[in-house]
């Protein structure tokens, strides 16, 4: 089962910019769009970014997404305490004909 | 606003069948794709499968395909998940979510825009 690889953790001080990477392959990220989800512990995931770089209504513009080749990134600028959460990338994978999630990154605000 | 609510037993015995229902309000179950995702305690998200009622399409995670069935009931506006022959490894919070499924450049943009609050299912004797 393919999986998208993320760093286990990332951190920054309030106001800093934090970037989270998501590494995939030619069967998922390279050919299909990436989405990102924020999960505060004890709550359901929330859609942050879809179609590589599109923010749903209500998501602050501090969150931005990008994609290049087989990798994608989520950037959080102007880090705030409420951004402490787990972040997951996801994409459709053509080889398994299903969705795959990233391994998840825990963001800490120091 | 779309609202999803999972319901079902919180405890299932090993080797039995896990059954959960997702009741949807604010959207027609027949008009969209619907998915199930699970999260074992302290671990990451795992996609289980999805259904599109109108086309009769279902897709399942290959690792679970032999044990899982996802269905939809348009009269109740619900999606259901059945996972057979469960073990302790199936202990998780189970989420249902609405799916956006569309072509994107030469591939697909498939993402989950509304989620239920989740239902913890423990497999134990």
Instruction: Please report the DSSP string for B101-113 in residue order.
Output: EEEETTEEEEEEE
Task: Report chain A residues whose CB lies below 8 A from the CB of B50.
Answer: 99
pLDDT tens digits along B9-37: 999 999 999 999 999 999 999 999 999 99
CB nearest A32 (choices: B44, B62, B107): B107
For A74-110, letters b (16+ CB in 10 Å) and e give bebeebeeebebbbbbbbbbbebebbbbbbbbbbebe
CB contact under 8 A, A32 and B44: no
Average pLDDT over residues A31-47: 97
Task: Report chain B residues whose CB lies below 8 A from the CB of A70.
Answer: none
pLDDT values of chain B reduced to their tens digit, one per residue, 125 residues = 999 999 999 999 999 999 999 999 999 999 999 999 999 999 999 999 999 988 889 999 999 999 999 999 999 999 999 999 999 999 999 999 999 999 899 899 999 999 999 999 999 99
CB nearest A33 (choices: B47, B62, B104): B104
Task: Report chain B residues whose CB lies below 8 A from the CB of A98.
Answer: 47, 49, 59-62
CA-based nearest distance A24→chain B, Å? 15
CB contact under 8 A, A51 and B104: yes
pLDDT at residue B88, as a whole number: 98
Flag whether pLDDT at A17 surpasses 90: yes
Decide: residue B112, CB within 10 A, 0-12 exposed, 13-18 middle, 19+ buried: buried
CB contact under 8 A, A92 and B107: yes
- A33 vs A26: CA distance, rounded Å: 12
């Amino acid at each position: 089962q393919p999986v998208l690889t993320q760093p286990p953790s990332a951190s920054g001080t309030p106001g800093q910019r934090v970037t989270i990477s998501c590494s995939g392959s030619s069967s998922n990220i390279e050919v299909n769009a990436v989405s990102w989800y924020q999960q505060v512990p004890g709550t359901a995931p929330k859609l942050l970014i879809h179609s590589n770089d599109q923010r749903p209504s209500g998501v602050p513009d501090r969150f931005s997404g990008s994609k290049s080749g087989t990798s994608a990134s989520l950037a959080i600028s102007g880090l705030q305490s409420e951004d402490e959460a787990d972040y997951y990338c996801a994409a459709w994978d053509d080889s398994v004909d299903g969705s795959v999630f990233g391994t998840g990154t825990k963001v800490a605000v120091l | 606003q779309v609202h999803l609510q999972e319901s079902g037993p919180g405890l299932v015995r090993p080797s039995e069948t896990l059954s959960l229902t997702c009741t949807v309000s604010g959207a027609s179950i027949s008009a969209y794709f619907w998915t199930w995702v699970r999260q074992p305690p302290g671990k990451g998200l795992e996609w289980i499968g999805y259904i599109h009622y109108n086309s009769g399409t279902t897709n399942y995670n290959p690792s679970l395909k032999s044990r899982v069935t996802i269905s939809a009931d348009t009269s109740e506006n619900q999606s259901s998940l059945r996972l057979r022959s469960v073990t302790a490894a199936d202990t998780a919070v189970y989420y249902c979510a609405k799916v956006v499924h569309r072509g994107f450049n030469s591939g697909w943009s498939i993402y989950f825009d509304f989620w239920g609050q989740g239902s913890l299912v423990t497999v134990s004797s």
